[in-house]
Structure 1
Amino acid sequence: MTCQRNEPEPSIDILKAASHPDPYPAYRQLLAGPDPVFDPASGLWIVTRGATVLDALRHPDLRVRPPVEPVPRALVGSPVGELFGHLVRQNDGPARHDAPKASLQRALAAVPLDDAARRTARVMAASLDLDDWHLEVPVRSVADLLGFPAEDHAAVAGWVRDVVAAFAPGGDLTAGSAAARTLMERFDGFLARAAEGLVARVAAEPWEDGAALRANLAGLLVQTFEATAALLGNTVVALARGGDGSDLPGLVDQVMRLDAPVQNTRRFAAAPLRLGEADLPQGAAVLLVLAAAGHDPAFDAERNPLGFGWGPHACPGAALARSIVVGALSERMRHRAGWPATWRYKPLVNARLPLFAAGGQW
């Protein structure tokens, strides 16, 4: 990273920081410098201080997608691109973000968290022997909440994996589109007969059209796949390092602050604006380093947890994700003793997702 400033540069590539074994010294070094700071190598304005991050997350002229490219060009015209374009978290404005997000929030708020934890425990008990259980259990738990039978959980996780992979640059568009079509067809069937449960609650809310409804039902699975899995995996890392397993809710909250599952998120300037110590031009791309803000001594990260975002675009399923993580770990601790000795991180730009040794080497 080559920044326009006089302080020593951090010895880390900001776009690879989420998968670095320990990015936090570099984040703290960035916190000591100007905020935001422009990085010519990536073309991004880097924001690290908690107060500036909050200002950016609620700024009306900082959008989640470039105004000229609401859907990534590579996805346009494909089923996976259509799904992407309807997702609440990829949109701004009253019609495409505010109203559908409120629908999701109301539906998710009606989910009893104790029921979600029980379902997660059942899914965890059936997944004990999976090498990648921390990747599978969250998405299988949400699939269960949505009404997929247990025999379909593995297939659902595979479809979601293909959709998420297709979203990434260079992803397999053919596999992602096939998975997106399958998920939409399955949700069509659920919607035709759902009388109760989470699908029925979501469907009872106002939606622009059926495509937006189906896409955001799938979005509950997509968001779970990496973000909740990252929170689960990072809590496992904390336990492996001696974290207090007798207070799992407290440990999960600590991990959210200090080893955030979502390390950064981007925003795009729809107009010239002032942010922190800099004037940003229209079209500027901004990287909000949420994980650095959690280490900002001038920021109250307990009152403003940023691990799943904050403000208008905060994840509406954060409480559910936390419940899934606590439920999964509680059940695993009933059946398995000990935690992994080694791990590495999946090379992702945004999420910090540990991968553990295969073959039961725990």
Structure 2
Amino acid sequence: MDPIIAATHADPYPYYAQLRTAGGLAFHAGLKVWVASSARAVCAVLAHADCRVRPAQEPVPKAIAEGMAGKVFGQLMRMNDGERQRCPRAAIEPALELIDEAHIRALVAARLITVDADGLYKAMFRGPVCVVAALLGFNPAQGRTISALTADFVACLSPLSNDLQLVAAHGAAEQLRGYFVELLAESDSQLLTAIRQRFEGDIEALIANLIGLCSQTYEATAGLIGNGLAALKRQPGLRGASMDAVLAEVQRFDPSVQNTRRFVAAACEIDGVRVEAGDVILVLLASANRDPALNEQPDRFLLDRPNRRSFSFGSGRHQCPGQMLATEIACATVREILDHGVNLERLAWHYRPSLNGRIPLFNIVGD
């Protein structure tokens, strides 16, 4: 076991507890990175001004730097610090907070959901992006295309992607840009209008971050839906509970984003440890969520957990602006899957290959 393998291990949480016991911020010789595992260390890293989301010498990964996927990547607020992060965030976050939850539920309910393995996959991965596309003003057919292209684009975000996947990601970025150019000329959706008004005429940054909104929705929401279904199978007593309460605890207890990285821009001290410029810190969000210093009885799944605290959607200046949107889409989707009669007892799964995501891929036992 190591902190990377842990993300897709059947149960990484005892290992995370061992890491916390050994020290909140410690160097992993095998991976050649610092590992922040305690709530205190994770909070300190995420808040530190010298801990950046990308290495200073490589703001865009070399593998995609020369294509359209790289151009989009370079403008994403989640992949930048300073003004290049703050301005897009200030444009998008207030608009997302105004979305009507009933509208989200209606959009999810309007989708065809089947409870075979393929249907669950589409509900988890494709459905949430279709909802975001509809909120932005795309029609249902366009939304399905946007969802498919987003599936190709997100390959550029993973170091595990091969050359063919990266070529497809560049092509998807080109096509997504074209769709958003047309949308901006035609749509007057409330969400798009609210976002557009705050971008001050920077059309390329606007388009890149609209693509980013879709790509962030794609995997994180899929993981929340999938881990919600897994929790319901493991704990049958949860099935009659409020789905909002269930997923509020799922995102703390078994989050879809297990870790993130920070790159040290200048020598500094973090949580009593000196780190040097160029060092890499692996930030174990899921481990911090289970730290007793953050949440009492952290290894118990409690629907009515008082003062629930979580790093699953980030913290501070890079906290995910779409937390409410992702959570509401996930809640509505799990409700629909249950209402369509999925047999939870027949669900089996393995985790999608990833360095940081914990996303179940389901099959139906007996099919």
TM-score normalized by structure 1?
Answer: 0.92
Report Cα offsets for 1:50-74 as digits up to 9, x if no partner.
1211111111110000011100011
Greater CA drift, 22-31 or 327-336: 327-336
1:102 equivalent in structure 2: 90
2:288 is the alignment partner of 1:298: no
> What is the rounded CA distance, in whole Å, between the counterparts of 1:55 and 1:303 in structure 2?
19
Q: Is the 8 A contact 1:308 1:318 kept in 2?
A: yes
1:360 Cα offset (Å): 8.3
Counterpart of 2:274 in 1: which secondary structure? strand
Whether 1:168 and 2:158 are equivalent positions in the alignment is yes
Give the aligned partner of residue 81 of structure 1: 70
- Displacement of 1:20 after TM fit? 0.6
Kept after mapping to 2: 8 A contact 1:107/1:201? yes
Aligned residue in 1 for 2:352: 346
Is the aligned partner of 1:280 residue 2:275? yes
Q: Determine the C-alpha separation between the residues in 1 that align with 2:104 and 2:156.
A: 29
| Inter-partner Cα distance in structure 1 for 2:77 and 2:32 | 26
Three-state SS of the structure 2 residue aligned to 1:327 is helix
Could you give the per-residue CA deviations for residues 222-251 of structure 1, whole angstroms, max 9, x where no partner exists?
001111110110001001112512211111
**1:270–1:283 CA contact under 8 A, matched in 2:** yes
- TM-score, structure 2 normalization: 0.90
Counterparts of 1:318 and 1:276, CA distance in 2:
27
CA contact (8 A) 1:65 1:267 kept: yes
Shift of 1:175: 0.8
CA contact (8 A) 2:136 2:191 kept: yes
Does residue 248 (structure 1) correspond to residue 237 (structure 2)? The answer is no
Q: Percent identity?
A: 36
- Which of 49, 52, 72 lines up with 1:63 in the alignment? 52
Aligned residue for 2:323? 318
**Does the residue aligned with 1:206 lie in a helix, a strand or coil?**
coil
State the 1:35 CA deviation: 2.0
Q: Which residue number in structure 2 is paired with residue 91 of structure 1? A: 80
1:131, distance to aligned residue in structure 2 (A): 4.4
Decide whether aligned partners of structure 1 residues 54 and 208 sit closer, same or farther in structure 2, where only a CA change above 3 A counts: farther
Q: Name the CA distance, whole Å, in 2 between partners of 1:211 and 1:70.
A: 17
Please name the residue that 2:12 is paired with.
23
Alignment gaps of 5+ in structure 2: 299-306
Asked if structure 1 preserves the Cα contact closer than 8 Å seen for 2:252 and 2:289, the reply is yes
Q: Is the 8 A contact 1:345 1:355 kept in 2?
A: yes
Please identify, of 183-192 and 274-283, the stretch whose mean Cα deviation from structure 2 is larger.
274-283
Q: Could you tell me which residue of structure 2 aligns to residue 151 of structure 1?
A: 141
Query: Partner of 1:120 in structure 2?
Result: 108
Matched, 1:40 2:29: yes
Q: Distance in 2 between matches of 1:273 and 1:324?
A: 40
Distance 1:360 1:216, change over 3 A: farther
1:357 aligned partner: 363
1:111 counterpart = 2:117: no
Distance 1:84 1:224 in 2: 15
Structure 2 letter corresponding to 1:330: R
Aligned position for 1:5? none
The answer as to whether partners of 2:348 and 2:365 remain within 8 angstroms in 1 is no
Amino acid corresponding to residue 320 of structure 2 in structure 1: C
Whole-Å Cα distance in 1 between the matches of residues 226 and 172 of structure 2? 25
Measure, in 1, the Cα distance between the counterparts of 2:3 and 2:201: 38
What's 2:125 paired with? Answer: 135
Deviation per CA, 1:282-301: give whole Å up to 9, x if none.
11100110000111011148
Look up the SS of the partner of 2:110 in the other structure. Answer: helix
Structure 1 stretches lacking a partner, 5+ long: 1-11
CA offsets 1:170-217 (integer angstroms, 9 cap, x no match): 442221111101111111111112223322221111346111000111
1:112-158 Cα distance to aligned partner (Å, 9 max, x none): 122112212222x3455524132222222212222222223332222
Is the 1:38–1:46 Cα contact (8 Å) retained in structure 2? yes
Q: What SS does the corresponding residue of 1:86 show, helix, strand or coil? A: coil
* Matched-pair contact (CA < 8 Å) for 1:190–1:199: no
Q: Which amino acid in the other structure matches residue 101 of structure 2?
A: L
Root-mean-square deviation over aligned CA pairs: 1.7
Q: Structure 1 residue 332: deviation in Å? A: 1.9
